[in-house]
Amino acid sequence: MSNRLDTPRVSRRPRFNVDAEAVGKFSESIARYLGTGRYLMWQTILVVVWIALNLGAFAWQWDPYPFILLNLAFSTQAAYAAPLILLAQNRQENRDRVALEEDRRRAQQTKADTEYLARELAALRLAVGEGVTRDYLRRELDELRELLIALQTAAGEQPENSKPRKGDVTERRSNK
């Protein structure tokens, strides 16, 4: 082993590999339990029994009236509960941030899809608008028939079908 100053020494202390995810899940479970009514009920029962045993039973008075040991227990509990609750809040904040980013991504994708569909719908409307409709075709056929009748009349011929036949385009339109 070299004694060079630019080379760090290898630590001889044992290393504890702790899974941060497991610690986080455990701390969240404790923080969730500390925030329940069940926990408050059990803690209240414990405090009442503690005080009753220390005030009433003279043989079992392990913590006399100022209840210093009970105070110490609550202080220790608070010292551990606060960091666990903060850790749980940080983890929840991270989950909320990831969910928000996912929601934003979905909203952007939905907006892009909606814009694409709107463009496609507009293109279809334009394409359909340029197509031949039934009314347009009827009007054109009526104009052609009137032109043929006018040409036959000008040529001195009696038009064969000057009256609309049953089922003719003009007949159908007048029946509507």
Written as tens digits, the pLDDT of the chain (176 aa) is 567 778 777 777 777 788 888 888 888 888 888 888 999 999 999 999 988 888 876 677 788 888 899 999 999 999 988 898 898 899 999 999 999 999 999 999 999 999 999 999 999 888 877 777 788 889 999 999 999 999 988 888 776 665 555 555 555 555 55
pLDDT at 117: 96
Would you state the pLDDT for residue 31? 86
Tens-place pLDDT, residues 88-138: 899 999 999 999 999 999 999 999 999 999 999 999 888 877 777 788 889
In angstroms and rounded to an integer, the radius of gyration of the C-alpha atoms of the chain is 45
* The three-state (H, E, C) secondary structure of the chain, written as one string: CCCCCCCCCCCCCCCCCCCHHHHHHHHHHHHHHHCCHHHHHHHHHHHHHHHHHHHHCCCCCCCCCCCHHHHHHHHHHHHHHHHHHHHHHHHHHHHHHHHHHHHHHHHHHHHHHHHHHHHHHHHHHHHHHCCCCHHHHHHHHHHHHHHHHHHHHHCCCCCCCCCCCCCCHHHHHHHC
| pLDDT value of position 175 | 53
Task: Find the length of the chain.
Answer: 176
Q: Is this prediction's pTM over 0.85?
A: no
Domain locations along the chain: 20-128
CA–CA separation, 88 and 33 (whole Å): 12
**Among candidate residues 32, 43, 134, the one with its CA nearest the CA of residue 88:** 32
Q: Please choose, from the candidates 75, 72, 74, 54, the residue with its C-alpha nearest in 3D space to the C-alpha of residue 64.
A: 54
User: Quick one: pLDDT at residue 169?
Assistant: 54
- CA neighbours closer than 13 Å in the CB half-sphere of residue 20: 3
